[in-house]
């Protein structure tokens, strides 16, 4: 079949496709769409392949998802159950169990979880990847879009099998190594391992590639930033310590042989370092926005609370037990943009000798000189932290990053303005207006009208009814609308009586 788009005329809300009534499109990826559909009276998820691929490639991906979805025991809980696969239909589709929840990408776009909750979520993602590897498969496209999180916090992996499916030990299904049988491209370049971009594609898509992708996901979970420039996470949360930096940078080694061999090995280390001791007692904190001071209970890096002054959500970066002070930062959402949310961080340190490592035994790597890592937003490959242009694909990176940082600052300024407006009170204007009415009616009415319009504007911009809003409207009705209405009625009645008397005379 020629490269293009498979016929999609039957793919629309309300249409019937092979007996499935399409209800809502709930996801879209590089090679297909996922729809919520109704089939034989129950709700299902229908994956429709929109971009044509070799039937053998589709069979590989469908087989991986089918096999993992039918695993018994705890491992099977990480994958949706596949009910039916139809690759001869135009377009081909796969019917799966419908999962209530949303993608990790959507969850991260609105930061509402503490660091402790985010790291616990990372452990579940690594457990799911470990289940893939335990059964001889390779995910091949591990990214936040392919991780579903249910309302009760369970994690399920979808799109297992993009690229090469099996590691060396899996013999359940033969894999063709012909050139025209190889998958094309990379669906999520920002999360893909460097070896995914090489010519020997199937040879370079083993379990360490999934470990690399998890490292990118973990960086975003911890920092809330897209994994473009990778800095030691202890720079943001000193309480995590160097052990988390070493774990993350081992996942992100360019050489697959220096990473964890698979997700199971990474999971053992992850569990070992997961939970530090919480800081005890009470700590003093200062809001970076309004400079308000408050007392907060102890915990560990990532605890969140609302500022008592401006109402902004604050996140604890570090508890200093010596000074009993908690360092905080404002939590803001990443602005939605057409591309990945990239934060550009300039690193002026020389590119030579970015880090050194000493290997102690087969599984222990002690790293020294951790520094930033930077990845191209276009092709996903590693570049120098000082680079303005990718040496692999030629894409300029600083212009993209600057635009996104400006968008983030505009978003933060707008959020700050809305917070200030939401906390605005009209109690004093209500009192001033009431006093003005007792001195003379006209200035009271003018003040009342001005403050009513101002309160209405604040409500429109902030979405919150300010304090005193109702009182201003009540005074407007009692002192302006009602007297003017009565006066108008009296004048109308007087005019009518005078006209009637003139007629009778």
Domain match, 93 and 230 both: no
> How many helices (H) does the chain have, and how many strands (E)?
11, 19
Cα gap 227→223, rounded to integer Å: 9
Q: Is residue 11 part of a domain?
A: no
In 150-292, beta strands by DSSP E? 155-157, 229-230, 282-286
pLDDT, position 247: 95
Which of 364, 408, 412, 370 is closest to 230 using CA atoms? 370
Residue at token pair 């003005």 = 436
Q: Any residues with CB less than 8 A from the CB of 106 and at least 6 apart, and which?
A: none
pLDDT, position 171: 38
* SS3 of residue 156 by DSSP: strand
Domain match, 75 and 211 both: no
Q: Report the CATH number that the domain containing residue 86 is assigned in CATH.
A: 3.30.200.20
Q: Is residue 307 part of a domain?
A: yes
Domain match, 202 and 155 both: yes
pLDDT, position 37: 92
Tokens matching residue 486: 């009565």
Residue at token pair 């600057």 = 402
pLDDT, position 130: 94
pLDDT, position 447: 87
3-state SS, one letter per residue, for 368-427: ECCCCEEECCCCCCEECCCCCECCCCCCECHHHHHHHHHHHHHHHHHHHHHHHHHCCECH
pLDDT tens for each residue of 417-473: 777 777 788 888 888 888 888 877 888 888 888 888 888 888 877 777 888 888 888
pLDDT tens for each residue of 371-428: 567 777 667 677 776 676 677 777 766 665 666 666 667 777 777 777 777 778 888 8
Domain match, 108 and 140 both: yes
Beta bridge partners of 148: 103, 156
Q: Is residue 3 part of a domain?
A: no
Cα gap 480→448, rounded to integer Å: 9
pLDDT, position 76: 87
Number of folded domains in the chain?
Answer: 4
Burial of 46 (0-12, 13-18, 19+ CB in 10 A): buried
Domain match, 384 and 318 both: no
Domain match, 306 and 216 both: no
CA atoms within 13 Å, Cβ hemisphere of 9? 1
Residue at token pair 């001005």 = 450
Q: Is residue 32 part of a domain?
A: yes
Q: Is residue 8 part of a domain?
A: no
Domain match, 324 and 349 both: no
- Asked if 225 contacts 219 with a C-beta cutoff of 8 angstroms, the reply is yes
The pairing of strands 382-383 and 82-86 is unpaired
Q: Report the CATH number that the domain containing residue 303 is assigned in CATH.
A: 2.20.28.160
Tokens matching residue 213: 């992708």
Domain match, 70 and 207 both: no
User: Of 97, 115, 134, which residue is a domain's last?
Assistant: 97
Domain match, 271 and 305 both: no
Cα gap 163→140, rounded to integer Å: 5
Q: Is residue 414 part of a domain?
A: no
Domain match, 220 and 145 both: yes
Domain match, 147 and 112 both: yes
- Asked if 163 contacts 205 with a C-beta cutoff of 8 angstroms, the reply is yes
pTM, full prediction: 0.64
The helix or strand, by DSSP H or E, that contains position 21, with its residue range, turns out to be: strand 20-28
Q: Report the CATH number that the domain containing residue 261 is assigned in CATH.
A: 1.10.510.10
User: Of 406, 440, 456, which residue is a domain's last?
Assistant: 406
pLDDT, position 370: 53
Domain of residue 311, residue span: 282-333
Beta bridge partners of 147: 157
Displacement of CA 392 from its chain's centroid (Å): 28
* SS3 of residue 367 by DSSP: strand
Which residue positions in the chain have pLDDT lower than 70?
1-10, 29-31, 51-57, 60-61, 111, 162-187, 198-204, 276, 332-372, 377-378, 380, 385-386, 388-389, 396-408
Tokens matching residue 466: 């300010």
Q: Is residue 412 part of a domain?
A: no
- Whether the CA torsion 264, 265, 270, 271 is positive or negative: it is positive
Q: Is residue 390 part of a domain?
A: yes
pLDDT, position 404: 63
Domain match, 220 and 147 both: yes
- Asked if 165 contacts 137 with a C-beta cutoff of 8 angstroms, the reply is yes
Rounded percentage of the chain residues whose pLDDT exceeds 70: 75
pLDDT, position 358: 38
User: Of 65, 97, 129, which residue is a domain's last?
Assistant: 97
CA atoms within 13 Å, Cβ hemisphere of 218? 31
């Amino acid at each position: 079949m020629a490269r293009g788009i498979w016929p999609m005329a039957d793919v629309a809300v309300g249409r019937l496709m092979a007996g499935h009534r399409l209800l809502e499109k709930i996801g879209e990826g590089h090679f297909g769409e996922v729809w919520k559909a109704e089939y034989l009276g129950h709700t299902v998820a229908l994956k429709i392949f929109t971009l044509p691929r070799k039937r053998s490639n589709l069979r590989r991906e469908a087989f991986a998802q089918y096999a993992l979805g039918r695993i018994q025991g705890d491992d099977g809980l990480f994958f949706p159950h596949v009910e039916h696969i139809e690759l001869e239909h135009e377009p081909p589709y796969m019917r799966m169990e419908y999962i209530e929840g949303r993608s990790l990408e959507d969850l991260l776009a609105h930061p509402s979880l503490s660091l402790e909750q985010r790291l616990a979520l990372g452990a579940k993602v690594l457990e799911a990847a470990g289940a893939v590897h335990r059964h001889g498969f390779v995910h091949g496209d591990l990214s936040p879009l392919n991780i579903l999180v249910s309302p009760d916090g369970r994690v399920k992996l979808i799109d297992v099998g993009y690229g090469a499916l099996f590691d060396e030990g899996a013999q359940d299904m033969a894999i063709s190594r012909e050139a025209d049988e190889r998958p094309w491209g990379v669906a999520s370049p920002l999360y893909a391992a460097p070896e995914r971009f090489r010519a020997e594609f199937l040879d370079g898509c083993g379990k360490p590639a999934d470990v690399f992708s998890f490292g990118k996901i973990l960086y975003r979970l911890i920092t809330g930033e897209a994994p473009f420039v990778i800095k030691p996470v202890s720079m943001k949360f000193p309480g995590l310590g160097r052990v988390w930096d070493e774990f993350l940078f081992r996942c992100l080694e360019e050489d697959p042989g220096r990473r964890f061999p698979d997700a199971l090995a990474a999971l053992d280390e992850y569990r070992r370092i997961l939970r530090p001791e919480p800081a005890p007692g009470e700590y003093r904190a200062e809001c970076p926005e309004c400079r308000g001071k408050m007392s907060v209970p102890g915990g560990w890096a990532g605890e969140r609370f609302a500022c008592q002054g401006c109402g902004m959500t604050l996140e604890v970066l570090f508890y200093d037990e010596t000074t009993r002070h908690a360092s905080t930062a404002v939590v803001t959402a990443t602005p939605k943009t057409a591309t990945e949310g990239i934060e550009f961080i300039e690193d002026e340190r020389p590119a030579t000798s970015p880090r050194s490592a000493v290997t102690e035994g087969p599984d222990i790597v002690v790293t020294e000189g951790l520094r930033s890592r930077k990845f191209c937003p276009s092709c996903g490959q590693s570049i120098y932290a000082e680079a303005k242009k990718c040496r692999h694909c030629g894409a300029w990176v600083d212009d993209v990053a600057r635009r996104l940082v400006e968008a983030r600052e505009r978003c933060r300024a707008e959020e700050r303005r809305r917070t200030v407006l939401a906390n605005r009170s009209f109690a004093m204007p209500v009192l001033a207006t009431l006093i003005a009415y007792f001195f003379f009616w006209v200035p009271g009415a003018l003040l009342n009208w001005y403050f009513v319009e101002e309160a209405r504007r604040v409500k429109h911009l902030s979405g919150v009814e300010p304090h005193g809003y109702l009182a201003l409207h009540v005074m407007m009705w009692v002192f302006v609308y009602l007297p003017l209405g009565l006066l108008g009625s009296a004048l109308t009645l007087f005019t009518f009586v005078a006209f009637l008397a003139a007629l009778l005379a």
